[in-house]
Structure 1
Amino acid sequence: MQPWLQMAARYAIKERLPENPDIWNSKGDRIYPRRDYDEDINSRPLLANHLGADVAFHLHTNGVDNAAVSGTRAVVQPGRGDDLLLGRNVLCYMRELIQSSEGYGEFPVVEEPFQEDKGENRLSRMPSVIVEMAFHTNPVDAAALRDPLFRTATMKGVEKGYRLFRQGRGCVPLKADPIEGIRLPAGGRAQVDVVFEGYPQYPIELVTANVGCPPGWTCTDGRVRIETPDAKPSQITLRCEKAGSAPIFWDTRVVDDDGVKSPPVRHWVQCIRRPGGTVASPAVPDGVEAATAG
Protein backbone atom coordinates (compact mmCIF):
# COMPACT_ATOMS: atom_id res chain seq x y z
CA MET A 1 0.00 0.00 0.00
CA GLN A 2 1.29 3.46 -0.86
CA PRO A 3 2.23 5.60 2.20
CA TRP A 4 -0.09 8.43 1.19
CA LEU A 5 -3.05 6.04 1.52
CA GLN A 6 -2.34 5.57 5.26
CA MET A 7 -2.11 9.15 6.50
CA ALA A 8 -5.68 9.76 7.60
CA ALA A 9 -5.37 8.85 11.30
CA ARG A 10 -2.92 11.53 12.44
CA TYR A 11 -4.93 14.34 10.85
CA ALA A 12 -8.20 13.12 12.33
CA ILE A 13 -6.56 12.90 15.76
CA LYS A 14 -4.99 16.35 15.37
CA GLU A 15 -8.41 17.81 14.60
CA ARG A 16 -10.00 16.20 17.67
CA LEU A 17 -7.08 16.50 20.10
CA PRO A 18 -5.13 19.61 19.05
CA GLU A 19 -3.78 19.97 22.60
CA ASN A 20 -2.03 16.55 22.40
CA PRO A 21 0.72 16.91 19.76
CA ASP A 22 2.64 14.08 21.44
CA ILE A 23 0.06 11.76 19.82
CA TRP A 24 -0.12 13.13 16.27
CA ASN A 25 3.26 14.88 16.03
CA SER A 26 5.48 12.24 17.60
CA LYS A 27 8.45 13.06 15.34
CA GLY A 28 8.59 16.67 16.50
CA ASP A 29 10.77 18.87 14.28
CA ARG A 30 12.37 16.02 12.35
CA ILE A 31 12.00 16.32 8.59
CA TYR A 32 12.46 13.30 6.29
CA PRO A 33 10.52 11.74 3.40
CA ARG A 34 8.44 9.21 5.40
CA ARG A 35 7.71 11.46 8.35
CA ASP A 36 3.96 11.78 7.78
CA TYR A 37 3.67 8.06 7.18
CA ASP A 38 5.55 7.20 10.39
CA GLU A 39 3.60 9.72 12.44
CA ASP A 40 0.37 8.25 11.17
CA ILE A 41 1.46 4.75 12.22
CA ASN A 42 2.57 6.02 15.64
CA SER A 43 -0.59 8.01 16.26
CA ARG A 44 -2.75 4.89 16.45
CA PRO A 45 -1.07 3.14 19.43
CA LEU A 46 -0.35 6.50 21.07
CA LEU A 47 -4.05 7.34 20.94
CA ALA A 48 -4.88 3.92 22.43
CA ASN A 49 -2.40 4.62 25.25
CA HIS A 50 -3.94 8.07 25.81
CA LEU A 51 -7.42 6.55 26.07
CA GLY A 52 -6.30 3.76 28.40
CA ALA A 53 -7.63 1.08 26.06
CA ASP A 54 -7.57 -2.54 27.24
CA VAL A 55 -6.60 -3.87 23.82
CA ALA A 56 -5.64 -2.53 20.40
CA PHE A 57 -6.72 -4.10 17.12
CA HIS A 58 -5.40 -2.55 13.93
CA LEU A 59 -7.68 -3.67 11.11
CA HIS A 60 -5.99 -3.75 7.73
CA THR A 61 -6.35 -5.15 4.28
CA ASN A 62 -3.12 -6.49 2.83
CA GLY A 63 -1.32 -5.94 -0.46
CA VAL A 64 1.68 -7.42 -2.26
CA ASP A 65 3.01 -7.46 -5.81
CA ASN A 66 2.04 -11.12 -6.29
CA ALA A 67 -1.71 -11.28 -6.99
CA ALA A 68 -1.79 -15.00 -6.14
CA VAL A 69 -1.09 -14.40 -2.43
CA SER A 70 -4.30 -14.80 -0.44
CA GLY A 71 -5.78 -15.17 3.01
CA THR A 72 -6.13 -13.80 6.52
CA ARG A 73 -3.09 -13.02 8.68
CA ALA A 74 -2.18 -11.36 11.96
CA VAL A 75 0.99 -9.63 13.13
CA VAL A 76 2.22 -9.25 16.72
CA GLN A 77 5.30 -7.71 18.30
CA PRO A 78 8.17 -10.16 18.97
CA GLY A 79 8.77 -10.98 22.62
CA ARG A 80 5.30 -10.06 23.90
CA GLY A 81 3.62 -13.22 25.20
CA ASP A 82 0.10 -11.86 25.75
CA ASP A 83 0.04 -10.38 22.27
CA LEU A 84 1.04 -13.74 20.81
CA LEU A 85 -1.71 -15.57 22.72
CA LEU A 86 -4.26 -12.98 21.66
CA GLY A 87 -3.13 -13.18 18.04
CA ARG A 88 -3.47 -16.97 18.08
CA ASN A 89 -6.96 -16.73 19.55
CA VAL A 90 -8.06 -14.17 16.99
CA LEU A 91 -6.79 -16.25 14.07
CA CYS A 92 -8.35 -19.41 15.50
CA TYR A 93 -11.82 -17.96 15.76
CA MET A 94 -11.58 -15.96 12.55
CA ARG A 95 -10.84 -19.27 10.84
CA GLU A 96 -13.81 -20.88 12.59
CA LEU A 97 -16.22 -18.10 11.63
CA ILE A 98 -14.94 -17.51 8.10
CA GLN A 99 -14.77 -21.17 7.09
CA SER A 100 -18.28 -21.79 8.46
CA SER A 101 -19.63 -19.08 6.13
CA GLU A 102 -21.17 -20.15 2.84
CA GLY A 103 -18.65 -19.94 0.03
CA TYR A 104 -15.62 -19.54 2.32
CA GLY A 105 -15.03 -23.10 3.55
CA GLU A 106 -11.54 -23.18 2.01
CA PHE A 107 -10.56 -19.55 2.64
CA PRO A 108 -6.98 -19.59 3.97
CA VAL A 109 -6.34 -18.33 7.50
CA VAL A 110 -2.84 -18.83 8.88
CA GLU A 111 -2.34 -20.82 12.07
CA GLU A 112 0.27 -18.56 13.71
CA PRO A 113 0.64 -14.78 13.89
CA PHE A 114 3.64 -13.27 12.16
CA GLN A 115 6.05 -11.80 14.73
CA GLU A 116 7.40 -8.58 13.23
CA ASP A 117 8.51 -5.23 14.62
CA LYS A 118 5.66 -2.86 13.71
CA GLY A 119 5.02 0.55 15.20
CA GLU A 120 1.31 -0.08 15.74
CA ASN A 121 2.11 -2.92 18.14
CA ARG A 122 5.49 -1.83 19.50
CA LEU A 123 4.22 1.45 20.94
CA SER A 124 1.03 -0.01 22.43
CA ARG A 125 1.01 -0.41 26.21
CA MET A 126 -1.75 -3.01 25.97
CA PRO A 127 -2.03 -6.28 24.02
CA SER A 128 -2.00 -5.28 20.38
CA VAL A 129 -2.60 -7.18 17.13
CA ILE A 130 -2.55 -6.13 13.50
CA VAL A 131 -5.32 -8.03 11.72
CA GLU A 132 -4.81 -8.40 7.97
CA MET A 133 -8.29 -9.47 6.89
CA ALA A 134 -7.47 -10.34 3.27
CA PHE A 135 -5.34 -9.26 0.30
CA HIS A 136 -6.90 -6.48 -1.74
CA THR A 137 -4.32 -7.35 -4.42
CA ASN A 138 -5.89 -10.81 -4.89
CA PRO A 139 -9.12 -10.81 -6.97
CA VAL A 140 -10.85 -13.47 -4.85
CA ASP A 141 -9.89 -11.78 -1.59
CA ALA A 142 -10.92 -8.39 -2.95
CA ALA A 143 -14.39 -9.76 -3.72
CA ALA A 144 -14.57 -11.21 -0.20
CA LEU A 145 -13.72 -7.84 1.31
CA ARG A 146 -16.76 -6.39 -0.44
CA ASP A 147 -19.02 -9.18 0.85
CA PRO A 148 -20.91 -8.33 4.08
CA LEU A 149 -21.01 -12.04 4.97
CA PHE A 150 -17.21 -12.26 4.93
CA ARG A 151 -16.71 -8.96 6.74
CA THR A 152 -19.16 -9.98 9.47
CA ALA A 153 -17.45 -13.34 9.92
CA THR A 154 -14.01 -11.75 10.25
CA MET A 155 -15.12 -9.29 12.91
CA LYS A 156 -17.09 -11.91 14.84
CA GLY A 157 -13.90 -13.95 14.87
CA VAL A 158 -11.91 -11.02 16.25
CA GLU A 159 -14.55 -10.40 18.92
CA LYS A 160 -14.71 -14.07 19.93
CA GLY A 161 -10.94 -14.38 20.04
CA TYR A 162 -10.63 -11.37 22.33
CA ARG A 163 -13.61 -12.33 24.52
CA LEU A 164 -12.20 -15.80 25.19
CA PHE A 165 -8.68 -14.39 25.66
CA ARG A 166 -10.04 -12.18 28.45
CA GLN A 167 -11.67 -15.25 30.00
CA GLY A 168 -8.36 -17.11 29.95
CA ARG A 169 -9.54 -19.51 27.25
CA GLY A 170 -7.50 -20.48 24.24
CA CYS A 171 -8.15 -21.94 20.81
CA VAL A 172 -10.73 -24.74 21.00
CA PRO A 173 -12.65 -24.98 17.70
CA LEU A 174 -16.17 -26.38 17.83
CA LYS A 175 -16.00 -30.17 17.42
CA ALA A 176 -18.39 -33.01 18.25
CA ASP A 177 -17.06 -36.23 19.76
CA PRO A 178 -17.63 -39.56 18.00
CA ILE A 179 -21.12 -41.03 18.42
CA GLU A 180 -21.40 -44.77 18.91
CA GLY A 181 -23.75 -46.79 16.73
CA ILE A 182 -26.85 -48.29 18.34
CA ARG A 183 -29.23 -51.22 17.70
CA LEU A 184 -32.97 -50.76 18.16
CA PRO A 185 -35.93 -53.14 17.92
CA ALA A 186 -39.30 -52.27 16.38
CA GLY A 187 -40.97 -49.48 18.35
CA GLY A 188 -37.76 -48.77 20.20
CA ARG A 189 -36.12 -45.43 20.81
CA ALA A 190 -32.90 -44.30 22.44
CA GLN A 191 -31.42 -41.01 23.52
CA VAL A 192 -27.92 -40.42 22.22
CA ASP A 193 -25.54 -37.93 23.82
CA VAL A 194 -23.90 -35.37 21.55
CA VAL A 195 -20.75 -34.39 23.41
CA PHE A 196 -18.73 -31.52 21.97
CA GLU A 197 -15.87 -29.18 22.76
CA GLY A 198 -15.47 -25.52 21.95
CA TYR A 199 -17.20 -22.29 22.89
CA PRO A 200 -20.35 -21.96 20.77
CA GLN A 201 -22.63 -18.95 20.86
CA TYR A 202 -26.01 -20.05 22.24
CA PRO A 203 -28.64 -21.03 21.31
CA ILE A 204 -27.21 -23.98 19.41
CA GLU A 205 -28.80 -26.69 17.29
CA LEU A 206 -27.89 -30.36 16.99
CA VAL A 207 -28.51 -30.99 13.30
CA THR A 208 -28.87 -34.59 12.12
CA ALA A 209 -28.93 -35.38 8.41
CA ASN A 210 -29.51 -38.78 6.83
CA VAL A 211 -26.67 -39.96 4.61
CA GLY A 212 -27.71 -43.59 4.07
CA CYS A 213 -31.34 -44.70 3.90
CA PRO A 214 -32.27 -48.26 2.78
CA PRO A 215 -34.16 -48.47 -0.56
CA GLY A 216 -37.89 -47.97 -0.12
CA TRP A 217 -37.56 -46.40 3.33
CA THR A 218 -38.18 -42.76 4.26
CA CYS A 219 -35.59 -41.29 6.62
CA THR A 220 -36.20 -37.77 7.90
CA ASP A 221 -33.60 -35.27 9.11
CA GLY A 222 -33.97 -33.60 12.50
CA ARG A 223 -32.94 -30.65 14.66
CA VAL A 224 -32.77 -30.22 18.41
CA ARG A 225 -32.49 -26.66 19.74
CA ILE A 226 -30.63 -25.99 23.00
CA GLU A 227 -31.13 -22.51 24.40
CA THR A 228 -28.40 -22.17 27.03
CA PRO A 229 -25.20 -23.90 28.18
CA ASP A 230 -27.06 -25.08 31.29
CA ALA A 231 -29.68 -26.91 29.24
CA LYS A 232 -27.84 -30.22 29.46
CA PRO A 233 -27.49 -32.96 28.44
CA SER A 234 -27.16 -32.33 24.71
CA GLN A 235 -29.03 -35.27 23.19
CA ILE A 236 -30.84 -36.45 20.11
CA THR A 237 -33.49 -39.17 20.24
CA LEU A 238 -33.47 -41.92 17.62
CA ARG A 239 -36.28 -44.43 17.08
CA CYS A 240 -37.38 -47.37 14.95
CA GLU A 241 -40.96 -48.15 13.89
CA LYS A 242 -42.47 -50.13 10.97
CA ALA A 243 -39.91 -51.44 8.50
CA GLY A 244 -37.44 -54.23 7.92
CA SER A 245 -34.03 -54.81 9.38
CA ALA A 246 -31.29 -52.57 7.98
CA PRO A 247 -28.60 -50.10 9.01
CA ILE A 248 -29.20 -46.37 8.61
CA PHE A 249 -26.42 -43.78 8.57
CA TRP A 250 -26.55 -40.24 9.92
CA ASP A 251 -24.32 -37.19 10.13
CA THR A 252 -24.75 -35.02 13.23
CA ARG A 253 -23.14 -31.65 13.80
CA VAL A 254 -23.42 -28.72 16.20
CA VAL A 255 -24.42 -25.35 14.72
CA ASP A 256 -24.26 -22.24 16.89
CA ASP A 257 -26.05 -18.90 16.72
CA ASP A 258 -23.15 -17.30 14.82
CA GLY A 259 -23.38 -19.97 12.14
CA VAL A 260 -20.30 -21.88 13.29
CA LYS A 261 -20.62 -25.53 12.26
CA SER A 262 -18.70 -28.41 13.76
CA PRO A 263 -17.47 -31.05 11.30
CA PRO A 264 -20.18 -33.71 10.85
CA VAL A 265 -19.89 -36.91 12.88
CA ARG A 266 -21.00 -40.11 11.12
CA HIS A 267 -22.98 -42.64 13.17
CA TRP A 268 -25.43 -45.47 12.52
CA VAL A 269 -28.59 -47.11 13.79
CA GLN A 270 -29.31 -50.80 13.17
CA CYS A 271 -33.06 -51.43 13.13
CA ILE A 272 -33.81 -55.07 14.01
CA ARG A 273 -36.70 -57.33 12.95
CA ARG A 274 -38.29 -58.88 16.01
CA PRO A 275 -38.76 -62.69 16.15
CA GLY A 276 -42.11 -63.87 14.82
CA GLY A 277 -42.41 -61.41 11.94
CA THR A 278 -42.58 -58.11 13.77
CA VAL A 279 -40.31 -55.60 12.06
CA ALA A 280 -38.38 -52.50 12.96
CA SER A 281 -38.28 -49.25 10.99
CA PRO A 282 -35.90 -46.43 10.11
CA ALA A 283 -34.52 -44.50 13.03
CA VAL A 284 -35.63 -40.87 13.07
CA PRO A 285 -34.24 -37.92 15.04
CA ASP A 286 -36.77 -36.89 17.66
CA GLY A 287 -38.94 -33.85 17.08
CA VAL A 288 -39.79 -34.61 13.44
CA GLU A 289 -42.42 -36.74 11.75
CA ALA A 290 -41.65 -40.46 12.01
CA ALA A 291 -40.27 -42.19 8.93
CA THR A 292 -42.42 -44.80 7.24
CA ALA A 293 -41.46 -47.73 5.06
CA GLY A 294 -42.26 -47.40 1.37
Structure 2
Amino acid sequence: MSAKAPQAPKAPQAPQAPQAPPLQMAEITAAQFLDIWRHFDSDGNGFIEGKELESFFKELEIARRGAGVDPSQAGFKEKMKEFMANVDKNSDGKIELSELAQILPTEENFLLCFREFVGSSTQFMAAWRRYDTDRSGYIESNELKGFLSDLLKRANRDYDDKKLIEYTQTILRMFDLNGDGKLGLSEMARLLPVEENFLLKFEGVTLTAQQFDALFAFYDKDGNGYIDEHELDALLKDLCKKHKMDVSASGLVGYKKSIMALSDGGKLYRAELQIVLCRDAVTP
Protein backbone atom coordinates (compact mmCIF):
# COMPACT_ATOMS: atom_id res chain seq x y z
CA MET A 1 0.00 0.00 0.00
CA SER A 2 1.61 3.21 -1.12
CA ALA A 3 2.00 6.09 1.33
CA LYS A 4 -0.07 9.19 0.68
CA ALA A 5 1.83 12.12 -0.66
CA PRO A 6 2.10 14.90 1.93
CA GLN A 7 -0.41 17.68 1.38
CA ALA A 8 0.88 21.11 0.60
CA PRO A 9 0.26 23.56 3.42
CA LYS A 10 -2.72 25.82 2.86
CA ALA A 11 -1.89 29.36 1.88
CA PRO A 12 -2.80 31.80 4.64
CA GLN A 13 -6.04 33.62 3.92
CA ALA A 14 -5.89 37.37 3.55
CA PRO A 15 -7.63 39.15 6.44
CA GLN A 16 -11.09 40.35 5.51
CA ALA A 17 -11.67 44.07 5.39
CA PRO A 18 -13.83 45.27 8.26
CA GLN A 19 -17.46 45.53 7.24
CA ALA A 20 -18.80 49.03 6.88
CA PRO A 21 -21.14 50.02 9.70
CA PRO A 22 -24.64 50.34 8.24
CA LEU A 23 -25.84 53.85 7.55
CA GLN A 24 -29.43 54.40 8.57
CA MET A 25 -31.73 57.36 8.78
CA ALA A 26 -33.21 56.26 12.10
CA GLU A 27 -31.47 57.42 15.29
CA ILE A 28 -28.01 56.01 15.89
CA THR A 29 -26.10 56.03 19.15
CA ALA A 30 -23.00 58.13 19.78
CA ALA A 31 -20.90 54.96 19.57
CA GLN A 32 -22.42 54.02 16.18
CA PHE A 33 -21.80 57.57 14.96
CA LEU A 34 -18.15 57.22 15.96
CA ASP A 35 -17.84 53.86 14.16
CA ILE A 36 -19.31 55.37 10.99
CA TRP A 37 -16.95 58.35 11.17
CA ARG A 38 -13.89 56.18 11.67
CA HIS A 39 -14.86 53.86 8.85
CA PHE A 40 -15.31 56.57 6.23
CA ASP A 41 -12.44 58.74 7.48
CA SER A 42 -10.23 55.77 6.67
CA ASP A 43 -6.93 57.69 6.67
CA GLY A 44 -7.76 59.35 10.01
CA ASN A 45 -6.99 62.90 8.85
CA GLY A 46 -10.19 64.37 10.29
CA PHE A 47 -12.10 64.66 6.99
CA ILE A 48 -14.21 62.50 4.69
CA GLU A 49 -12.86 63.44 1.27
CA GLY A 50 -11.96 62.12 -2.19
CA LYS A 51 -12.71 58.41 -2.55
CA GLU A 52 -13.90 58.31 1.07
CA LEU A 53 -16.54 60.89 0.17
CA GLU A 54 -17.67 58.93 -2.88
CA SER A 55 -18.04 55.80 -0.77
CA PHE A 56 -19.95 57.68 1.94
CA PHE A 57 -22.34 59.32 -0.53
CA LYS A 58 -23.05 55.99 -2.22
CA GLU A 59 -23.92 54.36 1.15
CA LEU A 60 -25.97 57.39 2.19
CA GLU A 61 -28.07 57.15 -0.99
CA ILE A 62 -28.76 53.49 -0.22
CA ALA A 63 -29.85 54.40 3.32
CA ARG A 64 -32.06 57.23 2.10
CA ARG A 65 -33.64 55.73 -1.00
CA GLY A 66 -33.10 51.99 -0.69
CA ALA A 67 -30.97 52.13 -3.82
CA GLY A 68 -27.48 53.34 -4.45
CA VAL A 69 -25.84 55.39 -7.16
CA ASP A 70 -23.02 54.11 -9.32
CA PRO A 71 -19.87 56.30 -9.05
CA SER A 72 -19.06 55.41 -12.67
CA GLN A 73 -22.30 56.92 -13.96
CA ALA A 74 -22.24 60.43 -15.39
CA GLY A 75 -24.88 61.73 -12.97
CA PHE A 76 -23.05 60.60 -9.83
CA LYS A 77 -20.70 63.59 -9.61
CA GLU A 78 -23.56 66.00 -10.21
CA LYS A 79 -25.69 64.44 -7.45
CA MET A 80 -22.74 64.49 -5.05
CA LYS A 81 -22.02 68.13 -5.94
CA GLU A 82 -25.64 69.05 -5.17
CA PHE A 83 -25.44 67.15 -1.87
CA MET A 84 -22.19 68.89 -0.86
CA ALA A 85 -23.63 72.31 -1.70
CA ASN A 86 -26.17 71.72 1.09
CA VAL A 87 -23.91 70.21 3.78
CA ASP A 88 -20.38 71.53 3.12
CA LYS A 89 -20.73 74.80 5.03
CA ASN A 90 -17.21 76.10 4.37
CA SER A 91 -17.11 74.83 0.75
CA ASP A 92 -13.81 72.98 1.14
CA GLY A 93 -15.05 69.83 -0.62
CA LYS A 94 -14.75 67.75 2.56
CA ILE A 95 -17.10 66.54 5.28
CA GLU A 96 -15.95 67.31 8.81
CA LEU A 97 -17.17 65.76 12.02
CA SER A 98 -19.56 68.60 12.85
CA GLU A 99 -20.99 68.46 9.31
CA LEU A 100 -21.58 64.71 9.58
CA ALA A 101 -23.57 65.35 12.76
CA GLN A 102 -25.96 67.47 10.69
CA ILE A 103 -26.46 64.62 8.20
CA LEU A 104 -26.98 61.63 10.50
CA PRO A 105 -29.72 61.65 13.18
CA THR A 106 -27.65 60.82 16.24
CA GLU A 107 -29.16 59.95 19.59
CA GLU A 108 -27.44 61.77 22.47
CA ASN A 109 -25.74 63.95 19.86
CA PHE A 110 -22.90 65.62 21.71
CA LEU A 111 -22.17 67.95 18.81
CA LEU A 112 -25.66 69.39 18.52
CA CYS A 113 -26.02 69.44 22.30
CA PHE A 114 -22.74 71.34 22.48
CA ARG A 115 -24.06 74.00 20.11
CA GLU A 116 -26.97 74.71 22.43
CA PHE A 117 -24.32 75.56 25.03
CA VAL A 118 -21.57 77.14 22.92
CA GLY A 119 -22.84 78.67 19.70
CA SER A 120 -19.89 80.84 18.68
CA SER A 121 -16.11 80.71 18.70
CA THR A 122 -16.04 83.48 21.32
CA GLN A 123 -18.27 81.45 23.66
CA PHE A 124 -16.15 78.40 22.92
CA MET A 125 -12.93 80.15 23.91
CA ALA A 126 -14.55 81.47 27.09
CA ALA A 127 -15.68 77.90 27.91
CA TRP A 128 -12.17 76.62 27.20
CA ARG A 129 -10.72 79.11 29.68
CA ARG A 130 -13.28 78.05 32.28
CA TYR A 131 -12.64 74.31 31.98
CA ASP A 132 -8.90 74.27 31.33
CA THR A 133 -8.57 74.97 35.04
CA ASP A 134 -4.82 74.34 35.33
CA ARG A 135 -4.02 76.41 32.19
CA SER A 136 -2.16 73.45 30.69
CA GLY A 137 -3.47 74.05 27.18
CA TYR A 138 -5.43 70.79 27.41
CA ILE A 139 -8.73 69.62 28.83
CA GLU A 140 -8.06 66.35 30.60
CA SER A 141 -10.61 63.67 31.39
CA ASN A 142 -11.60 65.07 34.81
CA GLU A 143 -11.99 68.58 33.35
CA LEU A 144 -13.93 67.17 30.40
CA LYS A 145 -16.27 65.36 32.78
CA GLY A 146 -17.10 68.67 34.46
CA PHE A 147 -17.59 70.32 31.07
CA LEU A 148 -20.02 67.60 29.92
CA SER A 149 -21.88 67.67 33.21
CA ASP A 150 -22.63 71.37 32.78
CA LEU A 151 -23.42 70.83 29.13
CA LEU A 152 -26.02 68.17 29.88
CA LYS A 153 -27.59 70.24 32.66
CA ARG A 154 -27.98 73.24 30.36
CA ALA A 155 -29.50 71.02 27.66
CA ASN A 156 -31.94 69.52 30.23
CA ARG A 157 -30.63 65.98 29.64
CA ASP A 158 -31.07 63.31 32.33
CA TYR A 159 -27.91 61.42 33.21
CA ASP A 160 -26.24 59.55 36.06
CA ASP A 161 -22.55 59.25 36.92
CA LYS A 162 -22.16 56.02 34.95
CA LYS A 163 -23.64 57.68 31.85
CA LEU A 164 -21.44 60.73 32.36
CA ILE A 165 -18.30 58.55 32.41
CA GLU A 166 -19.52 56.84 29.22
CA TYR A 167 -20.08 60.22 27.53
CA THR A 168 -16.64 61.43 28.61
CA GLN A 169 -14.97 58.34 27.17
CA THR A 170 -16.95 58.68 23.91
CA ILE A 171 -15.93 62.32 23.47
CA LEU A 172 -12.29 61.38 24.07
CA ARG A 173 -12.56 58.60 21.48
CA MET A 174 -14.11 61.04 19.01
CA PHE A 175 -11.74 63.95 19.38
CA ASP A 176 -8.52 62.73 20.97
CA LEU A 177 -6.66 62.41 17.67
CA ASN A 178 -3.27 61.51 19.13
CA GLY A 179 -4.60 59.18 21.86
CA ASP A 180 -2.97 60.97 24.81
CA GLY A 181 -6.14 60.93 26.94
CA LYS A 182 -6.70 64.69 26.79
CA LEU A 183 -8.03 67.23 24.32
CA GLY A 184 -5.99 70.07 22.89
CA LEU A 185 -7.66 73.28 21.75
CA SER A 186 -7.76 72.35 18.05
CA GLU A 187 -9.12 68.87 18.87
CA MET A 188 -11.88 70.30 21.06
CA ALA A 189 -12.68 72.99 18.49
CA ARG A 190 -13.92 70.27 16.14
CA LEU A 191 -17.12 70.44 18.21
CA LEU A 192 -17.76 73.89 16.74
CA PRO A 193 -19.86 74.44 13.62
CA VAL A 194 -17.39 74.62 10.73
CA GLU A 195 -18.18 78.25 9.93
CA GLU A 196 -17.39 79.20 13.55
CA ASN A 197 -14.13 77.27 13.83
CA PHE A 198 -11.71 80.15 13.36
CA LEU A 199 -8.79 77.90 14.33
CA LEU A 200 -9.07 76.23 10.92
CA LYS A 201 -7.79 79.50 9.45
CA PHE A 202 -4.59 79.16 11.47
CA GLU A 203 -3.83 75.58 10.45
CA GLY A 204 -1.09 76.76 8.10
CA VAL A 205 0.59 78.78 10.86
CA THR A 206 3.08 76.61 12.73
CA LEU A 207 5.48 78.35 15.08
CA THR A 208 8.35 76.85 17.05
CA ALA A 209 8.88 77.89 20.67
CA GLN A 210 11.68 80.28 19.62
CA GLN A 211 9.56 81.84 16.85
CA PHE A 212 6.67 82.32 19.25
CA ASP A 213 8.89 83.88 21.92
CA ALA A 214 10.31 86.33 19.36
CA LEU A 215 6.80 87.14 18.10
CA PHE A 216 5.43 87.73 21.59
CA ALA A 217 8.37 89.93 22.58
CA PHE A 218 8.00 92.02 19.41
CA TYR A 219 4.32 92.79 19.92
CA ASP A 220 4.52 93.20 23.70
CA LYS A 221 5.81 96.70 23.01
CA ASP A 222 5.77 97.88 26.60
CA GLY A 223 7.31 94.65 27.93
CA ASN A 224 4.64 94.15 30.59
CA GLY A 225 4.37 90.39 29.95
CA TYR A 226 1.01 90.41 28.23
CA ILE A 227 -0.59 91.55 24.96
CA ASP A 228 -3.60 93.83 25.00
CA GLU A 229 -6.32 94.12 22.39
CA HIS A 230 -4.50 96.75 20.30
CA GLU A 231 -1.25 94.78 20.27
CA LEU A 232 -3.15 91.62 19.29
CA ASP A 233 -4.82 93.53 16.45
CA ALA A 234 -1.41 94.46 15.00
CA LEU A 235 -0.09 90.93 15.50
CA LEU A 236 -3.02 89.29 13.69
CA LYS A 237 -2.92 91.71 10.76
CA ASP A 238 0.80 91.07 10.23
CA LEU A 239 0.39 87.31 10.70
CA CYS A 240 -2.42 87.11 8.13
CA LYS A 241 -0.43 89.21 5.68
CA LYS A 242 2.75 87.13 6.11
CA HIS A 243 0.93 83.82 5.60
CA LYS A 244 -1.27 85.23 2.80
CA MET A 245 -4.45 84.41 4.69
CA ASP A 246 -7.58 85.76 2.98
CA VAL A 247 -9.35 87.37 5.92
CA SER A 248 -11.87 90.19 5.76
CA ALA A 249 -11.83 93.10 8.20
CA SER A 250 -14.92 91.71 9.95
CA GLY A 251 -13.31 88.26 10.08
CA LEU A 252 -10.24 89.75 11.74
CA VAL A 253 -12.42 91.45 14.34
CA GLY A 254 -14.07 88.08 15.04
CA TYR A 255 -10.73 86.29 15.43
CA LYS A 256 -9.49 88.99 17.81
CA LYS A 257 -12.66 88.79 19.89
CA SER A 258 -12.41 84.98 20.09
CA ILE A 259 -8.76 85.01 21.17
CA MET A 260 -9.36 87.79 23.71
CA ALA A 261 -12.00 85.55 25.31
CA LEU A 262 -9.00 83.59 26.64
CA SER A 263 -7.57 86.69 28.28
CA ASP A 264 -7.58 87.70 31.91
CA GLY A 265 -9.49 90.97 32.00
CA GLY A 266 -8.13 92.12 28.64
CA LYS A 267 -4.60 90.87 29.35
CA LEU A 268 -3.56 88.06 27.00
CA TYR A 269 -0.62 86.31 28.61
CA ARG A 270 1.98 84.18 26.86
CA ALA A 271 0.35 80.81 27.70
CA GLU A 272 -3.06 81.78 26.30
CA LEU A 273 -1.71 83.07 22.98
CA GLN A 274 0.64 80.11 22.68
CA ILE A 275 -2.32 77.72 22.80
CA VAL A 276 -3.73 79.35 19.65
CA LEU A 277 -0.62 80.00 17.57
CA CYS A 278 1.45 76.95 18.45
CA ARG A 279 -1.46 74.52 18.09
CA ASP A 280 -1.27 71.64 20.58
CA ALA A 281 2.41 70.83 20.38
CA VAL A 282 5.15 73.37 20.70
CA THR A 283 8.38 72.05 19.25
CA PRO A 284 11.74 73.52 20.17
- Name the TM-score, length of structure 2 as normaliser: 0.25
Q: Please tell me whether Structure 1 or Structure 2 has the larger radius of gyration of its CA atoms.
A: 1
Compare the two structures and name the one with the higher strand fraction: 1
Q: Normalized against structure 1, the TM-score is what?
A: 0.25
